[in-house]
A and B are shown apart, each in its own frame.
Chain A
Amino acid sequence: MSSLLLKTLTKKEEIDRIIRDTIDEVLVLRFGRCTDTVCLQHDDILAKSVTDVSKFAKVALVDVDSEDVQVYVKYFDITWFPSTVFFFNAHHMKLDSGTADHTKWVGAFHIKQDFIDVVEVIYRGAMKGKMIVQCPVPPERIPKYNLLYKDV
């Protein structure tokens, strides 16, 4: 069970604390429900890779059903579960994956290596001082979606 290895956050203070306390490591926050099938697949990949990236990344799950967290859900404009947001030293890192929304990664990763690659690229970019990095995942494996802006 992935939730055994990964921390699940339900309160706003917890999220704040973890963002503040992760120093010189990429913080991966997954927003989603633990019952959703896509979320489960995503969580499985995260759990498998958490030891591999443990030297330069930290992974945490945010349960989107608790009220405290709705602030963040609204802030990051999360509508599709799971969505993954990346932070480095309390900076929000953007990821250009060819989709419309650069602020987060929407959907599940197809393979473990994809996730590890993304985290590595974010780390490298962040260490160099960039705020946005290019996604190394080939477009076949990027989940596609349509971005609706105010139902347009």
Chain B
Amino acid sequence: MATLEDSFLADLDELSDNEAEMDENDGDVGNEEEDVDMDMADLETLNYDDLDIVSKLQKSQRYIDIMQKVEEALAKDSDGAEKGTVLEDDPEYKLIVDCNQLSVDIENEIAIVHNFIRDKYKLKFQELESLVHHPIDYARVVKKIGNETDITLVDLGDLLPSAIIMGISVTSLTTKGSPLPEDVLQKVLGACDRALDLDSARKKVLDFVESKMGSIAPNLSAIVGSAVAAKLVGTAGGVSALAKMPACNVQVLGHKRKNLAGFSSTSQSRVGYLEQTEILQSTPPGLRARASRLVAAKSTLAARVDATRGDMAGINGRALREEIRKKIEKWQEPPPARQPKPLPVPDSEPKKRRGGRRLRKMKERYAVTDMRKMANRMRFGTPEESSLGAGLGEGYGMLGQAGSNRLRVSSVPSKLKLNAKVAKKLKERQYTGGATTSGLTSSLAFTPVQGIELCNPQQALGLGSGTQSTYFSESGTFSKLKKI
């Protein structure tokens, strides 16, 4: 029992010891492991209390090493580039590559610190985060304001444009925040300092890289500028890696993917770091896409020259830059003025006959109908029927012949337009045709007054008595008069 109790006690002690250790560690300057599980780090950031858990970079060994080297190199300012060695073996080149990586890391770190500051400062001044977007500016502003309740006392003139200062003063009057407790304030100020330190370190690193880029890749930096060249080389992972890329890839190096799922990416311009080059900044927006393709192509060529260290003086690069500049200028010149065109020689161009649906429909009205086609053909050996019988009148050809493989000739509604006289005659004939008259028509009419009346149906239809002819009519007029 004693041992059990003891063991339990011991267990309890262990637990408490563990807690104590963990507390110590939390409070301690957490260093070494940069590769803490990212999941753990995320969870911790939710309820951290101290900056140093979040922002470990500054204390990391790698960071310290590289910064040291950079400082040395800056102080030394050597430019003894050994032309004999392969680019990759040059120790300075390695440093450049490392610096590129580091600058990316520093950027991420600054973002983390910015989040930290923002979360802590939200209690004091929530809207500041939406007014001042840039992390470094935010840090500076927070540092200057501190715990001050009256923003008008704080002079922000050199940090921000006046429009934003005005916005800040106005929102500060209506903010729901309350001044921070002392320890939180200290932490926040510490974080601000950290952010500014990181920023200055980054600047140092970038300056160093830029200055050295001229000796690492002179042609590339002649075209796009050393800052962008450094970024490109850094992202690509080396000058030769950049040289191996096709130009279309170089164009999108550094492109920030902003399209959320479902949004089209055709409206975005696919330009990466190249967008920050001086060339592209100075072209009008309409020509940016073309220009970016051009610059990407030429800078790839320059990178290839640099990878093989063929031209260390940068002559090629400058020539390419000049070419780019000329091309962009040419695109921008106005089109040549219109000259008045003389008239063409009459009748030299033959009239173009137009076709199309409209013409076809027009032609259909005068086309030969199927019935006519049948009437035009004849059967061999049998005499054809004709309208007046016995070979006189119009021949009927294949119409109505026994043995033609159609039971009846389909009457397509004719598109012929008959004039009034012919139409009347046709109607009359149709009416008296006999075979086509409906069997239900009757000539008897039932009138209310006179009972059954026998009337002439043709008269009712307006066809007259059928035997009337306009030629001999008594009421008719002379059809043709000639003046003598």
Task: Please pick, from A51, A55, A116, the residue contacting B345 in the complex, using a CB distance under 8 A.
Answer: A55
Q: Among A63-71, A80-88, A119-127, which stretch is in contact with chain B? A: A119-127
Residues of A within 8 A of B347 (CB): 124, 127
Contact B346 A123, beta carbon cutoff 8 Å: yes
Decide yes or no whether B340 CB sits under 8 A from chain A: yes
Residues of A within 8 A of B402 (CB): none
Contact B343 A52, beta carbon cutoff 8 Å: yes
Residues of B within 8 A of A120 (CB): 346
Distance to closest chain B CB from A38 (angstroms): 26
Contact A56 B340, beta carbon cutoff 8 Å: no
Task: Please pick, from A51, A52, A54, A124, the residue contacting B346 in the complex, using a CB distance under 8 A.
Answer: A124
Contact B345 A54, beta carbon cutoff 8 Å: no
Decide yes or no whether B342 CB sits under 8 A from chain A: yes
Q: Give chain B's interface residue range (CB within 8 Å of chain A).
A: under 10
Decide yes or no whether A18 CB sits under 8 A from chain B: no
Distance to closest chain A CB from B341 (angstroms): 8
A11 vs B344: C-alpha distance in the bound complex, in angstroms?
32
Distance to closest chain A CB from B31 (angstroms): 87
Distance to closest chain B CB from A120 (angstroms): 5
| Residues of chain A from 34 to 88 with CB closer than 8 A to chain B in the complex | 51-56
| Residues of chain B from 297 to 346 with CB closer than 8 A to chain A in the complex | 340, 342-346
Distance to closest chain A CB from B400 (angstroms): 53
Contact B343 A116, beta carbon cutoff 8 Å: yes
Residues of A within 8 A of B340 (CB): 51-52
Residues of A within 8 A of B343 (CB): 52-53, 55-56, 116
A53 vs B340: C-alpha distance in the bound complex, in angstroms?
11
Residues of B within 8 A of A52 (CB): 340, 342-343
Contact B345 A123, beta carbon cutoff 8 Å: yes
B340 to chain A: closest residue by CB: A51
Distance to closest chain B CB from A97 (angstroms): 19
Q: Mark A85-111, 1 if CB is under 8 A from B, else 0.
A: 000000000000000000000000000
A120 vs B342: C-alpha distance in the bound complex, in angstroms?
13
A123 vs B346: C-alpha distance in the bound complex, in angstroms?
7
A127 vs B346: C-alpha distance in the bound complex, in angstroms?
10
Residues of B within 8 A of A123 (CB): 345-346
Residues of A within 8 A of B344 (CB): 55
Q: Mark A9-44, 1 if CB is under 8 A from B, else 0.
A: 000000000000000000000000000000000000
Q: Mark B32-58, 1 if CB is under 8 A from A, else 0.
A: 000000000000000000000000000
7 contacts between A and B (CB under 8 A): A51-B340, A53-B343, A54-B342, A55-B342, A55-B343, A56-B343, A124-B346
Beyond A55-B342, A124-B346, list 20 extra A-B contacts (CB 8 Å): A51-B340, A51-B342, A52-B340, A52-B342, A52-B343, A53-B342, A53-B343, A54-B342, A55-B343, A55-B344, A55-B345, A56-B343, A56-B345, A56-B346, A116-B343, A120-B346, A123-B345, A123-B346, A124-B347, A127-B347
